Amino acid sequence: MKYFISSLLIFLFLSCDKKQENKENLPKKFEQYITVLGIAQDGGYPHIGCQKECCNAIYQNKRKRKSVVALGLVDTKNKQKWLFEATPDMHTQLATLENNHLKTNSIIDGVFLTHAHIGHYTGLMYFGREAYGKQNIPVFAMPKMRNYLTTNGPWSQLVSLQNIKLKKLQHDSTIVLNNQLKVTPFLVPHRDEFTETVGYKIQGKHKTALFIPDIDKWQKWKRSIIEEVKKVDYAFLDATFLNQKEVKRAMTEVPHPFIEETVQLFKDEIIIVRDKIIFIHFNHTNPALQKDSKERKAIEKLGFNFANEGDNFEL
């Protein structure tokens, strides 16, 4: 009996100690932070028309679907939130921001667009009369993007009915969101069939992030991606394809920096620099999309990181 009581007391003590340890290890609730709302390339995951194992695994309940690439910017102190990219998954991504991060009177304080490829702006349709139907939702866009939305249906109806209110962006011109947060767009080379393409620098009180979900090749950019990464704390970079062999189509039609190219570019940088890189915007065929893939694990061992839906990064 004495042995039983002693064992019970030890068990209770260890349990309480373990609970305290777990409590201490819980992540702090940040005042300002970025949250990852999607990581897939424009076509999403699963991908239309795909009958390969990569997508079939979802229908067989072996994998989970992934939303199209988007970031949320949350300020719990000032009770504001913004969205980077208006994806085809925007309706659920906004719901995630509302229910899991910050509930406010407005659905969003602003949406920042990068360019006019289907995964990055078509979610604006949810702001129309067939869906949300409210007015004056701020949408931040570059000159060609503003003109595209204003002069082409069905997007022009969003403007004429004032469902959205277009806000001007200019290359390298900083937008002050509040006393804690700033956003700066910058032009990057990409397949600009309809509009220009931008990346963003997102500045918080303590840290700064780079967001470049789409670019043709690093060497086509007038800036050095290595130097730009060194200036920030986080760099969310285009990781559409792992390498040249991944898909059987002319890669010149859909140019992106392969993950292997980016890894090669940064291989001689110190670990602190490599650790800033967070790969995002994965094609459904990209093995690095899967946490348990040998390709991803090998790259992680080199000091690089991969975005996961639900990850939060303090600013």
Q: For each successive 10 residues of the chain (315 residues), what is the average pLDDT?
A: 41 38 47 97 85 79 89 97 98 97 96 97 97 97 98 97 98 97 97 96 98 96 98 97 77 81 97 98 92 96 97 97
Distance CA 298, CA 275 (A): 14
* pLDDT tens-digit map of 271-289: 999 999 999 999 888 899 9
Q: Which pLDDT score is estimated for 122?
A: 98
* pLDDT tens-digit map of 113-153: 999 999 999 999 999 999 999 999 999 999 999 999 999 99
102, exposed or middle or buried, with CB in 10 Å at 0-12, 13-18, 19+?
Answer: middle
- Dmax over CA atoms of the chain, in Å, equals 84
For domain 29-314, the CATH class is alpha beta
Question: Chain-wide mean pLDDT for the chain?
Answer: 89
Residue type, 226: I
Q: Which two tokens stand for residue 212?
A: 């470049």
Q: Which pLDDT score is estimated for 179?
A: 96
Closest listed residue to residue 166, CA positions, set 182, 183, 188, 143: 143
Going by C-beta distance under 8 Å and a sequence separation of 6 or more, which residues neighbour residue 282?
39, 40, 41, 45, 66, 239, 240, 288, 289
Distance CA 226, CA 283 (A): 24
CA atoms within 13 A on the CB side of 264: 9
199, exposed or middle or buried, with CB in 10 Å at 0-12, 13-18, 19+?
Answer: buried
Distance CA 13, CA 195 (A): 63
Q: Which pLDDT score is estimated for 56?
A: 76
Residue 18: what are its φ and ψ, rounded to 5°? -65, -40
Going by C-beta distance under 8 Å and a sequence separation of 6 or more, which residues neighbour residue 206?
314, 315
Under 8 Å between Cβ of 97 and 309: no
Under 8 Å between Cβ of 279 and 10: no
Give the E-state strand segments of 39-159 in sequence order.
70-75, 80-84, 111-112, 137-141
